[in-house]
A and B are shown apart, each in its own frame.
Chain A
Amino acid sequence: MKNRLTQLGIFFISQGYISAGQWQLLQRVLEQTLAQNLDQLDPTSHQQFSQLIAQRLHEQSISGWLQEPEHIVDEQLAQQFTVQQLLKLEIFPCQLNLEGQLVVAVVQFNQSRVKQALEAIWPNVPLRQVAIANHQLLALIIGQRLGKTAQVCEQIRQRSPTQPFQGIGSPIIKALIQSGYISNQIYQDQVDRQVWQILQDQLQPSEIREIKRLQTLSGSPLRDIITRLGYLSDQRYQTQLNQFTKLPIISKLVGTDFLNVDVSLLKNFDTQDMMDQHFFPLAWVGNDVLQVVVRNPYHSEIESIIHRTFPQVAITKVLGTESDITSLLAQYFRKDFSDGAIYQLLRRAPHESAARVFTLPQLMVLYALALISLWLLFNHFWTALATLMVILNLFFIISIGFKLILSIQGLRKNRRGNDKWKTLNSRPKALPIYTILVPVYNEPEVIPILLEALGQLDYPHEKLDVLLLLEENDKATRDACRMADPPGFVRQIIIPNSHPKTKPKACNYGLAFARGEYLTIYDAEDIPDPDQLLKSVWAFQQGPPNLACVQAALNYFNREENFLTRMFTLEYSYWFDCLLPGLESFHFPIPLGGTSNHFRTALLRQLGGWDPFNVTEDADLGIRASQRGFVVGVINSTTYEEANCATKNWIRQRSRWIKGYMQTWLVHNRDPWRSIRTLGIKNWLAYQFFIGGTIVSFLSSPLLWLIYFYWLITRDTWLVYLFPSWTLYLSLVCLLLGNSLGIYLNMTAVFRRRYFKLLPYALLNPIYWQLHSMAAYMALWQLFTKPFYWEKTQHGLSKVKKQTT
């Protein structure tokens, strides 16, 4: 035994599983437990393991023994035992050979009970043991009973594995992994190597070379490279794995009534673990035997998770693809996920949810202000109006100054952009899985372009986890998705039909399925810069641990389509290239943009995801992150979208945004003292000016312009009462300096982007701002009448053909 163990040790060391020192440490344990370990051999790899052990012990395996023509299984010998006995003893008597030895196929060598049983039938006959796997034993027993022993033997002989034993799945290896002596990576590599042998026949030499190159480069599991890059579908890979492991495949049963799922069992496991580790517990299949769907049968973490909940339980595995496991999760957790997507934030932090528009104190303040205003108007008419003018003008002046400082800082900061993120290109092993959520609703036409754009992302595709969030009742888009035959890194998540039917709800639902360390959102019509994910990872790796989100810039590909798209581009360029970097550099709260915000998934979950009742859930999330002490940053990368080119559509979209800003402002002002405490006075003021200021600007701007034009035309002297003394100078500064700077700063952003043709259009901003005001009044109306109504922006109106960059 000692000698054999040493041989085994030499083998493990030579294969690189462990070092000599580690083996020495283990020897004491292994000496006592080897037999037990062999007993508990995983049937999926038992054949190979038993063969190896046989070789190491100078014995043969059944398949090796059958290679010799004179070695023939004698059916009569087995008939000395009942089936139950054979199964219990795990033996199959094969032949009484010419040397007078009884050749017995055994699952376990040198078992005394076996020797005793054989001695009872064939006394004093020397034994020669050959190794047999459980399934081979079963096949032989059944074949013998059916009188087809010869055929079974032939099958065993033909399927004799030629590759060296890798020890995959054996309890010894598992023990070594759990003890930290073998890294999971080495273990996975060994699995891959075995599967690789099988797959070589399926692939072209060039493909094999490319896959090998990618694996060396990115260190990604072979399966991910092969399936996500489309060399083989996940289903085909599964079939190959099935040949190798003999585990049943479940795919055809998923979504049918034939699958036996113990729903009560599911609550014992965390859905996130199931999604991350790719497993799904099905049911108990006997006493202490749990049947589990797994994507990778050799993934030891799954067993650890199961054993944490059910210690000592035996696990029987069935194979399922990532899509199968996703479907099972979606099927059995549909209600939980859907419910969570809507109510999670409301339950966890009701004060942070916009489900309630106004709180009682807010209403009281509102009424009090209205009463005071009325009293002032009736008793001190001119004083009241003049005071209003003073407040508005002072607000505008501060707001202008604030934005000027932000813009200059933003411009300065952004110029320091560096290319260090490119180092990630040379070490893709450092790149984690990246989830991309793409909510799509009634947009079947954009699916092919979307998939093309996603395919152009400069990120190892096997590390992409793209979730297309499709609505249950949106058959057209779902069909389009099916037709487009998405690549292996894309999963389709069907959002159950429920209300509110909003983008944040869809994103929350998708978040439950996200596997990535980082996560981002793209709209269906988005064309992100290919380097965006790399820049984001770099930002997260360089940033502090509480950096929860980085926002990429948004811009438009159809910027020169008409007046509206030009103005929209000017506005977006200014917002994302100047203001947000400015906010970031002062560590002010950043209201996130609609898409291309990249999160640390864990922190996003901590935040409770998006508020489905807030129609600018992104802006709200940015502020909420700051309130919880997280940092939000920006990255120097752009996503190109389709600018709204129709005025009505634009106003609808803008009204939703401004309504969302109103909701956000109200939510985070429910308890101003708390907000000041959590944000700090500096950030709180910045938030008031940035979010509240935007609303006030849009609402008050037309009023001031009306007064101005009225005066310009009539020169009525009564207006002097509105602008007494220095109020006039204040308002002149607002009018001249405010508008000039507004236009100039707007111009600078497109100048930096080298959109030279747009420069003169910046002069037309005062006209464009009036459209904002129209939308603002619409938003104010909707805030009271239908606060949660999602004004869906119609995409695909542009006549400019989208070109992926």
Chain B
Amino acid sequence: MVSARLKNKPPRPSRLIPFTGASSLEIFLVCLITMVALSSLLVGLDWAGYIPQTIAFLGSTAMVAVQGPEPSFAATGYIFPPLLIYGSALLQSPVTLQVISGTVLVGLVLYTMGTVAVSKRWRSLWLILIFIHPAFGLMILREPVWIISALFLFLVMQLAWQILQTQPHPDRQISFLIVMVGLTFSGLLLLRFEAWLGLIWLLLLLWCILLDESWQFRVAALFVVLTMSLFSIGTCFYLNWLAADDPFAFLHLPGSGLRLVGLDSFWVKTGPWETIFKSFKEVLHIAPIYGLLVVLLIWQAKFRARLSLLLVLPIVLLCLCLWQGLYTPNLSQFGLYFALLPLLLHNVQSIGTTKKLLITLGLTVSLVSSGWILQQNQVIPEEALLWRKLTRQDLSTVQAVHQLDQQTAEQREIAAYLFQARRPKQKILMDGGVHFPILYRLQKTAGLVLPHQYEFHVAVDQPEQWVHFIVISGTKSSTRNQDQVRSLLAQRINGDPESEEALTLKGFRTVFNSPYYQVLQR
């Protein structure tokens, strides 16, 4: 049957990405320049007082993991995503991780764009439109999780595409590609929760792509792909069981899955149908170019249904993100779609003038649309803050942005104070899961008493004997109720863990007091 069909339809020549677009030296130079530029930009932002929340969270967690206090493992073992935390710990800084991963992504985008069959001018124009797109820029500047997710997703899609395009499948090639899909997707599972359910979509996709193969081969292929993914999931369960005696601890603990404390009011969770509608709406709103290219590719494709399954994979992940309540209105997340654009463009056949103009128009519309969203502050305050700082706009006009800026300034002030005032062997009591920006800015973990430590409850019960500084959320802070130190102290002092009054402790004086933070010193 297969051979008969093949006789009728000669196989289309494979259009695998030829890795000959640029010389090694060119790639190295581009990556070097990107690395230097990205490092300078991030250091500049740091000096300007801006530290992305994700970076602060990863940095503080990794710092505790490496430097203690003991048992440091308990502080990190159950935090998701482990890949980023381990990576940050290994590289000593999440910024380094961000720079390296950002450089690789930019290099990959540049390189793949080099293989698109249009003139250099068009390629350069499209590259500029991608790089200046706020979603891509914000992702590179503040979200290592999306940068690495984009890298993994890029590879998964490219590999799956190769499987789809290589018809009939030469035996050795297809097995290599399937193995690599399994390996790459398992990495994604250690980054994003939604990828766990996305795994089902991937399996469905592979089953359809491999329809020409025997059912035994298809089952085996799914088994192979599933194995590494199950190892990844098992790793999370195991680490949680080790650290917290609860394999599912990472599902509900604060901060886990990068559901950072303080962003509670921004999390969006929708029902199944609304999820699909909202996902498509968001993509078309922020990245209409992606939608345009998907339509173009499906229209020209041989295996339309299978290609559609592949191309909507990022949108499926977005749906799952929304459905699981892991979505906040932000542009960084959509940077991923722009990172995937070169891959899509590479596969567009015979790009004539009409298509060129259409693609340019799509990119421009995406740019304008996203800019408008940012300008209208339809994103989380952190992105709006960064946007306004980068574009030197007035911060006070938007209350949420202004508040965040104020909070950031206070975090810096508190960290600086603690750094100067704390003497050796003096201890600081705080909830690291809530006050991670301060912890990260402090850049020291010596003398900290954190909730995961054995002496934490003793320290909360008898702070006058155990600790010298206490950092808690202020009376107006949105994290007030999640701050374990504040809740326990409020319970002890006022009998109400959710007390809205500023706390006073015998033997302690308030050295810093604001609506967002309160620092007590013995």
A contact set with B: CB distance below 8 Å:
408, 411-412, 414-415, 417, 720, 725-726, 728-729, 732-733, 736-737, 740, 743-744, 747-748, 751-752, 754, 756, 759-760, 762-763
Contact = CB atoms under 8 A, between A and B. Distances in A.
Contacts of B72: 725
Contact of A736 (B73, B182, B238): B238
Contacts of A729: 65, 73, 86, 89
Contacts of A725: 66-68, 72
B224 A759 contact: yes
A411 B179 contact: yes
B303 interface: no
Given A411-B176, A756-B220, A726 B227 contact: no
B220 A759 contact: yes
B228 A415 contact: no
B430 interface: no
A355 B176 CA distance: 43
A744 B228 contact: yes
B173 interface: yes
Contacts of B223: 759-760
Given A725-B66, A736-B238, A744-B182, A752 B228 contact: no
B227 A732 contact: no
A411 B175 contact: yes
A760 B180 CA distance: 18
A748 B224 contact: yes
Contacts of B293: none
B235 interface: yes
Contacts of A412: 176
Given A728-B73, A740-B228, A756-B216, A415 B239 contact: no
A727 to B, nearest CB: 11
B231 A751 contact: no
A570 to B, nearest CB: 13
Chain B CB count within 10 A is highest, among A729, A737, A754, A763, for A729
Contacts of A760: 223
A412 B19 CA distance: 14
A744 to B, nearest CB: 5
B217 A748 contact: no
B5 interface: no
Nearest to A756: B220
Contact of B89 (A408, A726, A740, A763): A726
Contact of A415 (B89, B170, B221): B170
Nearest to B77: A732
A747 B179 CA distance: 9
B219 A415 contact: no
B219 to A, nearest CB: 7
A412 B162 CA distance: 13
Interface residues of B, number: 35
Contacts of B71: 720
A239 B219 CA distance: 64
Contacts of A728: 73
A752 B219 contact: no
Contacts of B227: 743-744, 747, 762-763
B175 A726 contact: no
A744 B225 CA distance: 9
A759 B179 CA distance: 13
B235 A417 contact: no
Contact of B224 (A414, A736, A737, A751): A751
Nearest to B223: A759
A754 B217 contact: yes
A415 B179 contact: no
Nearest to A728: B73
25 contacts: A411-B179, A414-B176, A415-B170, A415-B172, A415-B175, A725-B72, A728-B73, A729-B65, A729-B89, A732-B239, A736-B231, A736-B239, A737-B235, A740-B235, A743-B227, A743-B231, A751-B175, A751-B178, A751-B179, A751-B224, A752-B176, A754-B171, A754-B217, A756-B219, A763-B227
Chain A CB count within 10 A is highest, among B65, B68, B182, B183, for B183
Contacts of B224: 744, 747-748, 751, 759
Contacts of B179: 411, 744, 748, 751-752
Chain B CB count within 10 A is highest, among A412, A414, A744, for A744
Contacts of A720: 70-71
Given A736-B238, A740-B231, A751-B220, A415 B173 contact: yes
B206 to A, nearest CB: 13
A759 B225 CA distance: 12
Given A408-B180, A725-B68, A733-B86, A748 B175 contact: yes
Interface string B203-234: 00000000000001101110110011001100
Interface string B68-85: 101111000000000000
Given A744-B182, A759-B220, A759-B224, A752 B175 contact: yes
A251 to B, nearest CB: 51
Contacts of B239: 732, 736
A743 B235 CA distance: 14
A417 B238 CA distance: 41
B339 to A, nearest CB: 22
A736 B176 contact: no
B70 to A, nearest CB: 8
A216 B183 CA distance: 53
A487 B247 CA distance: 67
A733 B173 CA distance: 30
Contacts of B89: 726, 729
Nearest to A732: B239
Interface string B374-416: 0000000000000000000000000000000000000000000
A531 to B, nearest CB: 16
Query: 9 smallest A-B Cβ distances: which pairs?
Result: A740-B231, A752-B175, A415-B172, A756-B220, A415-B173, A411-B176, A748-B179, A736-B235, A415-B176
A756 B231 contact: no
A748 B225 CA distance: 10
A452 B394 CA distance: 88
A458 to B, nearest CB: 20
A752 B171 contact: yes
Contacts of A411: 172, 175-176, 179-180
B225 to A, nearest CB: 10
Nearest to B230: A740
B72 to A, nearest CB: 7
A752 B180 contact: no
A417 B172 contact: yes
Nearest to A762: B227
A754 B223 CA distance: 13
B177 to A, nearest CB: 8
A720 B74 CA distance: 13
Nearest to B177: A415
A681 B173 CA distance: 32
B217 A756 contact: yes
A518 B386 CA distance: 70
A146 B223 CA distance: 94
Nearest to B236: A736
Contacts of A414: 172, 176
A68 B28 CA distance: 96
A751 B182 CA distance: 13
Contacts of A733: 86
A732 B231 CA distance: 14
Contacts of B220: 751, 754, 756, 759
A188 to B, nearest CB: 43
A744 B183 contact: yes
Contacts of B235: 736-737, 740
B231 A744 contact: yes
A740 to B, nearest CB: 4
Contacts of A763: 227
Chain A CB count within 10 A is highest, among B65, B170, B179, B216, for B179
Contacts of A752: 171-172, 175-176, 179
A733 B190 CA distance: 13
Given A720-B71, A725-B68, A740-B228, 19 more contacts: A411-B175, A411-B180, A415-B172, A415-B173, A417-B172, A726-B89, A728-B73, A729-B65, A740-B231, A740-B235, A743-B231, A744-B179, A744-B227, A747-B227, A748-B175, A748-B179, A752-B171, A752-B172, A754-B217
